[in-house]
Amino acid sequence: MDIQGLDVVKYLNGHNTVRDGTLVSLFVRDIVTEPVVELVFEVPSKESIRTVKLELRDVQEFDYGYTKENPPNVIEFVKCLMTETGDFYLSLDPYDERESFISDKDNDYFRSTFVKLTT
């Protein structure tokens, strides 16, 4: 299944998506010219592990705080929304996932003008 734009926001805000999953891959390419970020999650399901891939194009900004001492664990909270300017926004460590706006207290965030989700 491939979905784009607002449908991705609706999907990621639903149950059994990347919450309670693990980020297993973060790939950045063309960072100088046309930034693209690919995020791959493994999400447990009743039968097996499901893979969810997000492709972000025309990346406006991202800040993912990786350290070897604190590697990514299970994703407990997710904030996903479309901004007033039509950008896709995802935080994997939001200050408050119930907020419907970008907070300067959000962590591990990505903002782009295009998003595609593949499961």
Q: For residue 78, count other CB atoms closer than 10 A to its CB.
A: 18
Nearest alpha carbon to residue 72 among 119, 106, 40? 40
For residues 21 and 74, is the Cβ–Cβ distance under 8 A? yes
Q: Model-level pTM? A: 0.92
Distance CA 107, CA 93 (A): 5
User: What pLDDT is attached to residue 92?
Assistant: 94
Q: Read off the pLDDT of residues 55-67 as tens digits, 9 standing for 90 and up.
A: 999 999 999 988 8
User: What pLDDT is attached to residue 111?
Assistant: 98
Domain chopping of the chain, boundaries: 2-118
- State both tokens at 50: 């499901």
Q: Read off the pLDDT of residues 35-78 as tens digits, 9 standing for 90 and up.
A: 999 999 999 888 899 999 999 999 999 999 888 887 777 888 99
Provide φ and ψ at 7, rounded to 5°.
-65, -30
Q: Find the DSSP H helices in 1-119.
A: 6-12
